Structure formats: C-alpha cells, structure tokens
Amino acid sequence: MTTIRNIVLVHGGFVDGSGWQGVYDELSREGFRIRIVQNPTISLEGDVAATRQVLDSLDGPAVLVGHSYGGAVISEAGTHPNVAALAYIAAFAPDKGESVNTLIADPPPGAPVPPILPPRDGFLSLDRDKFHGAFAADLPARLAAFMADAQVPWGVDALGGAVTEPAWRHKPSWYLVATEDRMIPPPAQRAMAERAGSSVVEAIGSHAVYVSQPATVADLIRQAAA
C-alpha cells in the first residue's frame, strides 16, 4: 500500500483556512502535498464546488479533511474520485438529507449552546465576548480575540444545505473527537463517528483543536493516509 500524499483541508464556519497553518506545517515537513480550501461558507453548494475545484487539480488520491461545518462539506464533496479517505475533526458528519440545521435542531438537555447571534442580512456570527470560551477555550486569550475579530460571517444557507449522498457511506473515514468541545457536544461527535463507521481518536481539546493541537490532528490525518 502506498501512502496517500495529497491532503485537502476544509475549514468550518466563522473562520477561514489560515487556522490550518499548524497542521500544514506538521504534514508538509514530511512531504505531503497540502491544499487548503478557502470555502466562502455562503452555501453548502458553493463550498462543495470550491472543494471539488481543488480536488480536480490533484495528480492522485487525497485525504479530504473537514473541521466543524467543513465535515458537511467533505461529506458531500468526498464522492469525488480523487478522494480516498475522509477525516473529520470535531466535525458534522451528516447523513443523506441532513444538514447542519437538522443536526443541531434538538440539543440534549444540559448541552452547551453556541453563542450564535441572530442572523443579519442572511449571515451568522458568534458573540465576540463569548468566542474564547465557546470556540477556543484552549487557545491563548489574544489569539482567541484575534479569531473573534477576524470572523467570517456564516451564511444561513450553508447551515440549511442538505447532503445528497454522504461520502462516508462509501469511503473509509477517521474522526477526532474534541472532548471539551462547547460548539458540537462530544456525545454528538461520538454518535456521528459511530454511524459513519469511523476510526475514532479522542483528544482533550476545544472546538479549535485543529489550532491548539496540530500534531494530534496531523497524526489522525497520517493514519487516514496510510
């Protein structure tokens, strides 16, 4: 078996692809060819198109990696023939007909509620003052403040976009559960990973585990590439 050398990283809502830099640095040192999708997070359809455009440019098989909402993107885009494996990082893994909206519609009692502000002009953002604790509790306060002030508005159409045929039904997947996540409850992460038949690793980290623990995330991606 030849190790997959292409890695494609897909970010989630409220952020852009720059948060993947630590993971990029970890894997690029080992010769992996890494592409980072700057998906607009306006609609699921648009983000899938942006991801497939990157996949089209590859010269061989890839591991397609998604964080948070990026998990919905890779579930839909991962049917692309260049995708050999999927890696979910504290991510949504919708089934056919599901969207982020349907997955978050009925939170269990006592689950943390993300501090999402009411939509403005069709876009959502997180309460800046609560961003650190909800999204990035294991990051330094100054970095979390920068991320809060650099937020990318998340289109409500992206949350409502439903997956038509989840790639995890046809391709092997890995899942990193962030045990201290206050955006996607860890029990929900475990349930989605189990449903997808993913190989699971757990890390003590916040929703921003891809920023705070790039080596752990890179290890999971290496497993998927092996």
Report the distance separating Cα 72 and Cα 166, nearest Å.
9
Q: What is the pLDDT of residues 152-176, one digit of tens each?
A: 999 999 999 999 999 999 999 999 9
When mean pLDDT is compared across 108-122, 130-144, 175-189, the lowest value belongs to 108-122
When mean pLDDT is compared across 104-108, 136-140, 149-153, 190-194, the lowest value belongs to 104-108
Assess whether pLDDT exceeds 80 at residue 125.
Answer: yes
Assess whether pLDDT exceeds 60 at residue 191.
Answer: yes
What is the model's pLDDT at position 2?
63
- Reduce the DSSP state of residue 204 to 3 states and report it: coil
Closest CA to 56 of 32, 80, 84, 72: 80
User: What are the helix (H) ranges across 89-185?
Assistant: 100-104, 128-135, 141-149, 156-160
Assess whether pLDDT exceeds 70 at residue 1.
Answer: no
What is the model's pLDDT at position 109?
84
The proportion of the chain whose per-residue pLDDT surpasses 90, expressed as a percent, equals: 95
Report the distance separating Cα 221 and Cα 30, nearest Å.
12
What is the model's pLDDT at position 106?
83
